[in-house]
Amino acid sequence: MLARDVGEEPFRVEVTARQWWRAVRYSDVEGTPLFDDNEILVPAGRPIEIVLEAEDVIHSCWVPCLGGKLDAIAGKTNVLRLEADQPGIYRGMCAEFCGAKHARMGFHLVAMAEDDLQQALRERVVTVPEGGADGARAFERHCASCHSIDGRAQTPQAGPNLAAVRLRRHLVAGWLRNDPGELRRWLEEHQTIKPGNHMGNLSHVEDAELDAIAEWLEGR
């Protein structure tokens, strides 16, 4: 439903749309900004303000179960006001044609009880995954030029922030469930799963390194 103006302080989250994923920013989690991607965590039963911008072409943000869509436009800030009455996972999408992979630019808005939300956000304030030295080295060689693993720092990299990716319910802009093995499959088959995406070719990377990267990021 659309959030009503009842005087209650809204929960604000900033979302920047790109081809073809969304960068998510929470302004204050334990005293620091938190950067995430494609999964928007919000409180249930409280007004929500999603501050929308775009990095490139015109996109939009639409959560059909909760309200209408609003465009995300480069150089302009729009504010989408919603409210989720009950905890739940709400499927969202881009409803403005934005290029070849428009149809696979989904996301999920996850409404939670306030205490659960704060706990979930705190869990995402991480700098690097634990352990997995082989995976860390392989990530640095093959992935770090495009992806950050620091949830506390905004980075100019071309790809999504992968901090605490193990906690996300979905991967690839909502296209794959984050089940064991799916991240590993994405690394090897990403152009088959989502043809035309901007991720570089990893065919030169040994299977053992791809295994190590996936295991390190997922912490499984």
Distances (CA, A) of 212 to 40, 54, 216, 218: 28, 33, 6, 10
Residue 24 belongs to some domain of the structure: yes
CATH number at residue 64: 2.60.40.420
Are 112 and 142 within one domain?
no
Are 49 and 149 within one domain?
no
For residue 5, give the 3-state DSSP assignment: coil
Are 140 and 108 within one domain?
no
Beta strands across the sheet bearing 39-43:
39-43, 106-112, 88-93
Question: Are 203 and 74 contacting, i.e. CB atoms less than 8 angstroms apart?
Answer: no
Cα three-residue angle 2-103-70, rounded to 5 degrees: 25
Are 70 and 168 within one domain?
no
Residue 128 belongs to some domain of the structure: no
State which residues of the chain have pLDDT below 50.
Answer: 1-3, 220
For residue 120, give the 3-state DSSP assignment: helix
Residue 37 belongs to some domain of the structure: yes
Residue 183 belongs to some domain of the structure: yes
Are 52 and 114 within one domain?
yes
Looking at residue 1, what is its pLDDT? 44
Looking at residue 207, what is its pLDDT? 95
Burial readout 123-141 (b: 16 or more C-beta within 10 A, e: otherwise): ebbbeebeebeebbebbee
In whole angstroms, give the CA distance from residue 97 to residue 110. Answer: 24
Looking at residue 155, what is its pLDDT? 63
State which of 123, 151, 184 marks the end of a domain.
Answer: 123
State which of 72, 97, 123 marks the end of a domain.
Answer: 123
Are 94 and 32 within one domain?
yes
Residue 57 belongs to some domain of the structure: yes
Residue 5 belongs to some domain of the structure: no
Range of the domain at 204: 133-218
Contacts of 85 (CB under 8 A, 6+ apart): 1, 44, 45
Are 169 and 196 within one domain?
yes
Residue 6 belongs to some domain of the structure: no
The count of structural domains within the chain is: 2
Tell me which residue of 173, 162, 198 sits closest to 35, measured CA to CA.
162
Looking at residue 128, what is its pLDDT? 67
Tokens at 155, concatenated: 């980075």
Residue 4 belongs to some domain of the structure: no
From the CA atom positions of the chain, what is the Rg in Å? 17
State which of 70, 89, 123 marks the end of a domain.
Answer: 123
pTM of the model: 0.88
Looking at residue 163, what is its pLDDT? 86
